[in-house]
Amino acid sequence: MISPIELAIVCFDCESGMFVFLKSYGDDSSDSTQQEIICAGSFLGWPRDFYYAGLKWEERLKQDNIEYFRASECENLRGQFDPDRLHLDLNQSRALALSLRYDLLEIVNNTHTGLGAICMGLLRKDFSELITENSKAKKFFGTDPLRLIYKRLIRVTIELLNQDWPDMPKQVKIAYVFDEHQKWKEAEEEYQKLKEEDAICACRMLMAAHADDKENAGLQMADLAAWEARIKTLAWLNESSAERLQFKQMARHHNVYFIGVMNRENMLTELADAEAKGVV
């Protein structure tokens, strides 16, 4: 596995850049309000911080004979957390999963690492209906909801960086690392087009690449962020004030930087702004 430090040497010639690791979790089932969501989670940080957090992360996984972490498997005791694989009963497997997730959150929450989660949710039903009935929306937003939410995360990350650290040197660029999928080449071409056409992205975006989440601790951290953001978004949709301990833990340590939700209303607002500027 190539570490963020090794990538930084290739990408930046020095440690003058930041990394964003992005991982998505798609919820294909409907809840009681018939709202389907796609949530994408990411962590922003310096290569050195990802490197040392990654070492601790992988060391902790090995303690329980876990090859890689996926939040859905941890939550539902499947895959790496299957009781049969672990040779444990159901209660023991659940206790192991809870203990491991708590320890992994502690690694992320360590204030010395300086990692911040940036997450977004997209209401699939709103997206699908809008691009079906509105040709301009289809042209502007595209037809792939996952790629749309990733592009929004690319831009939001840069906007937040520019907003909160206006004195950040211009040479600091962001390298984005996404979880691999079948159409990763087409996705990278689209992200490159975003860099070339969007002035805000052009100033900070270095490159977008893909990696295997089974071999990349940064992507596994992003998966954890995406899962917690998904549950947070579902609670918001259901107008519930209930909050998971895991999310409270991240918020308490200021590791949650931003969570946004794209619905029909704000997509229409964005489309109207684009029309006014002659973009679409």
Please tell me the distance from the alpha carbon of residue 20 to that of residue 47, in angstroms, as a whole number. 9
Of 50, 57, 53, the C-alpha closest to 104 is: 57
Residue-range domain boundaries for the chain: 4-62+115-276
Q: Residue 280: its pLDDT value, please?
A: 79
> How wide is the angle at C-alpha 145 spanned by C-alphas 245 and 118, nearest 5°?
35
Residue type, 154: I
Q: Residue 128: its pLDDT value, please?
A: 95
Please tell me the distance from the alpha carbon of residue 56 to that of residue 51, in angstroms, as a whole number. 9
Detail the DSSP E strand segments found in the chain: 17-26, 37-45, 116-123, 173-179, 205-211, 256-262
Q: What is the DSSP letter of 143?
A: S
Q: Is the pTM of this model over 0.75?
A: yes
- Terminal CA-CA length for the chain: 42
Q: Residue 237: its pLDDT value, please?
A: 85
Q: Residue 257: its pLDDT value, please?
A: 79
Instruction: Give the gyration radius of the chain's Cα atoms.
Output: 19
77 with 83: CB under 8 angstroms?
yes
Q: Which two structure tokens, joined as six digits, stand for 197?
A: 């056409």
Give per-10-residue mean pLDDT for the chain (280 aa): 51 56 51 67 87 93 96 95 97 97 90 78 93 96 92 91 87 88 89 92 90 92 89 86 78 78 94 88
Q: Residue 1: its pLDDT value, please?
A: 45
Q: What is the DSSP letter of 79?
A: G
CB atoms within 10 A of CB 247: 19
Q: Assign domain 4-62+115-276 one CATH number from 3.30.310, 1.10.1060, 2.60.40, 3.30.420.
A: 3.30.420
